[in-house]
Structure 1
Amino acid sequence: MNRNIRIHPIPNSWYRVCFSKDLRPGEVKPLRYFNKDLVLFRTETGEACIFDAHCRHLGAHLGHGGEVKGEGIQCPYHGWIWDKGGQCNHVPYPHTGCNPTVKIGKWPVAELNGTIFTYYHSEGKAPTWEMPVFPEFYGGEWVSAIQMYKRNVKCSIQEIAENNSDTAHFSHLHGARFGKVLSESLELDGLQRTHIASYEVRIPVISKLLGINEFHTTYQQYGLGCNRNLVSLKANGKTVLEWRLVCMHTPIDKENAEALCVTKLKKFINVPITRFIVELLTKKACEEVDKDAMVWDHKIFLENPPLYKEEHSINQFREWVKHFYSDSEQPEKISFPTTSGSNN
């Protein structure tokens, strides 16, 4: 008897590859995402570019020894220079005729919210939507946590994205101390999914210190690579704290991903106090994501699980996520042998 599961292809979406601050003009970085070798570099005028990693001449990896030359990158092997459009514009030894017409693969890049994103499409098609600007990444009223969550997990990107739709696991795995649901709604706007909910909060320490009795959350999903949780803690209807948890997850291949989360808190009283609170919140958030990661590392994807009415949002998510796969793609069916007489 075989136990069958499904492994999904990598969904078409925008994904984070680097923070802007970590790529200086003239800097080159090798990347490994989407089961591909890539090279990221910033031109001398400051434009971030992503290419297929290997030179189209004789296959050297541009991310290892490649150098930025003006608005292009030079191969470490023979010195060919590829301009930011992916065209070879300089061969540094005597030759006759024009420069080679062969081009190196160039990936779409969007740089906003302090982050460099690239767009993956299984058929190499151009993006059909844009990542939005998040106001908390601009201006001085938000304080960023120094610590952040980052680790590789053995899990498909779809399963990570599905995690926040699985609200039933919040109480058991995370020990969430919410009271009754005050309001809840789900909004689908094309490729953006927004879940809005508010709860009575039961966190004795915070309640005693700040009088907080309501927890409001707006969870926004932008494709499969980025989600943003807008959290407000209220005392008798008045907002006391506003917190942002932004998670940017990137597929390494079909079965592995890089999980990353950053947090920001709106200024509360003054910067030192805000810094103290946001670091506490972030420490707790990292601990909770680690619990999810422990499950992600060892779970399998079941195509038709027995869901209860409290888990209806999982089916809603799975229907929505179909938008991010090409029509020709079907999940890969994998069979695992089980022992004789098993009921699985």
Structure 2
Amino acid sequence: MASYSLFWMLLLKNNWKLISNDFVIYLWTLAVTLIRIYWIFFVPLVWKKDLDNEKCSFLRKTENAVGYNPKRDTINRLRKLKIQKIIELPPPYPNGANLGIGGSVADDCVICPFHQWKFRGTDGLCINIPYSTSVPKGSKVKKWISQEVNGFIFIWYHAEQTELPWDLRVPMGEIDDAFVYHGHNEFYINCHIQEIPENGADIAHFDAIHKKNFINGSWVQKKRLFGLGSHHWKARWSPLVGKLKYLAEVNLNHYFKLFGKFGCFRMEVSGKQIGPSIVCLEVNSYTFGKIKVVQYITPIEPLLQKVVHEFYGPRWIAPLMKIFIYGESLMFERDISIWNHKVFHRNPILAKEDASIKKFRLWFSQFYSSNSKLYSEATNIGW
């Protein structure tokens, strides 16, 4: 490869005087255009919201008292970790090393990176220590029940050991083979995990927060572009019953009213809420075509959630998908501005039009059990 590059450089040097300036300009224009086209169609868009962008050191009124906000310590600690470029991890097993950092898989076993202990995948038992003729009793790592769906690996976690895992393959559906990954956004949000999926059942908030043109950026900023148009929404949320009681259905109808007169960018969104942390959406639009969006929430510690949206669609709509991801990210940041500064009330005062919120809270209550940790019991170390 180096010899080929040297050859072309010498050829260009020897014939530079024969090349006109116009040809060089055309060549550069073509190269820039090709790079731009490649970026538009083949490079996924990634949108991340850093904790450093949020100011959360304030006094906060809770349900019981006015006091110092405990979230500030969490954010400051994570900022320090980010600067030091290290990651906090739960206590590893059994000799202090983390199997996920440097560990390897051989056949059906996981090998520890620290001392090369080998743990059997079926039950987590240690079956071999390369420098020892025996294996100490109790040498075992926890076995987690997992499912792989559409390239995602889900780990079953429940406070009650007797609960059986849900089947995710049917409610999530399959991503079309013609679909490709177009990008994702990622946010860290300071709120109760229940607040985030509750948005789908909070019908009134769509007009209050998401009506303004997404070009306006954050909803708290005053811009002059509102006159271009506004978003209009119709939403419906309903829980399922029986064996599928851990599911709920979400339906949205959207259109953009341009200059207050012309309806355009119509979208029909249907999806399923799977348990407390997964949402799978299918968007059908004359403008964008068919799109799949997967949202998942990962609790990092008490009152700190990581939320990710991943976007899938046909390759040919890549330029429109970048606009779609950009707009969705800005819209979601409007919700984050509320979540980062609100209090979670277990029994809020609701209007009769907020009946869907009551339904949601009754549905969500199934995910709490007698062994679920209270906030006062949870610690960052054992989280």
TM-score normalised by length of structure 1: 0.69
SS of the residue corresponding to residue 280 of structure 1 reads helix
Alpha-carbon shift at residue 152 of structure 1 (Å): 1.7
Partner of 1:151: 187
Counterparts in 2 of 1:1-344, with a 5 A limit? 3-4=62-63, 37=90, 54-56=92-94, 58-85=95-122, 86-96=124-134, 100-133=137-170, 134-135=172-173, 137-140=175-178, 142-145=179-182, 147-175=183-211, 177=230, 179=232, 181=234, 184=236, 186-189=238-241, 190-198=245-253, 201-204=255-258, 212=264, 214-233=266-285, 241-265=289-313, 267=314, 271-272=315-316, 274-329=317-372, 331-332=374-375
Alpha-carbon shift at residue 306 of structure 1 (Å): 1.6
CA distance in 1, matches of 2:237, 2:346: 25
Against the structure 1 CA distance between its residues 222 and 80, is the aligned structure 2 distance closer, same or farther, given a 3 Å change threshold? same
Flag the structure with larger Rg. 2
Counterpart AA for 1:230: E
- Unaligned runs of at least 5 residues, structure 2: 1-60, 66-85, 213-229, 378-383
Against the structure 1 CA distance between its residues 90 and 301, is the aligned structure 2 distance closer, same or farther, given a 3 Å change threshold? same
CA distance in 2, matches of 1:100, 1:331: 34
CA distance in 2, matches of 1:253, 1:63: 19
Alpha-carbon shift at residue 95 of structure 1 (Å): 3.2
Tell me whether 171-180 or 274-283 shows the greater mean CA deviation: 171-180
Deviation digits for residues 285-331 of structure 1 (CA, Å, limit 9, x no counterpart): 11111222222222220112121223221111110001111244475
Alpha-carbon shift at residue 80 of structure 1 (Å): 1.5
Counterpart AA for 1:293: I
The answer to whether the 8 A contact 1:143-1:275 is kept is: no
Deviation digits for residues 62-86 of structure 1 (CA, Å, limit 9, x no counterpart): 2344333333222233321112131
Against the structure 1 CA distance between its residues 225 and 5, is the aligned structure 2 distance closer, same or farther, given a 3 Å change threshold? farther
Alpha-carbon shift at residue 195 of structure 1 (Å): 2.8
SS of the residue corresponding to residue 130 of structure 2 reads coil
Against the structure 1 CA distance between its residues 255 and 5, is the aligned structure 2 distance closer, same or farther, given a 3 Å change threshold? farther
CA distance in 2, matches of 1:179, 1:164: 15
CA distance in 2, matches of 1:180, 1:295: 19
Alpha-carbon shift at residue 125 of structure 1 (Å): 4.0
Counterpart AA for 1:294: S
- Unaligned runs of at least 5 residues, structure 1: 7-29, 38-52, 335-344
The answer to whether the 8 A contact 2:279-2:294 is kept is: yes
- The structure whose residues are more often strand, as a share, is 1
Counterpart AA for 1:91: I
SS of the residue corresponding to residue 344 of structure 2 reads coil
The answer to whether the 8 A contact 1:89-1:99 is kept is: no
The answer to whether the 8 A contact 1:212-1:240 is kept is: no
CA distance in 2, matches of 1:164, 1:333: 28
The answer to whether the 8 A contact 1:5-1:333 is kept is: no
CA distance in 1, matches of 2:97, 2:236: 53
- The structure whose residues are more often helix, as a share, is 2
Percent identical pairs in the alignment equals 26
Counterpart AA for 2:323: L
Q: Which has the higher contact order (CA 8 A, sep 6+)?
A: 1
Tell me whether 126-135 or 293-302 shows the greater mean CA deviation: 126-135
CA distance in 2, matches of 1:281, 1:225: 23
Matched positions, count? 274
Deviation digits for residues 5-56 of structure 1 (CA, Å, limit 9, x no counterpart): 69xxxxxxxxxxxxxxxxxxxxxxx997xxx72xxxxxxxxxxxxxxx6222
Counterpart AA for 1:203: K
Alpha-carbon shift at residue 216 of structure 1 (Å): 2.4
SS of the residue corresponding to residue 117 of structure 1 reads strand
CA distance in 2, matches of 1:71, 1:262: 30
The answer to whether the 8 A contact 1:4-1:333 is kept is: no
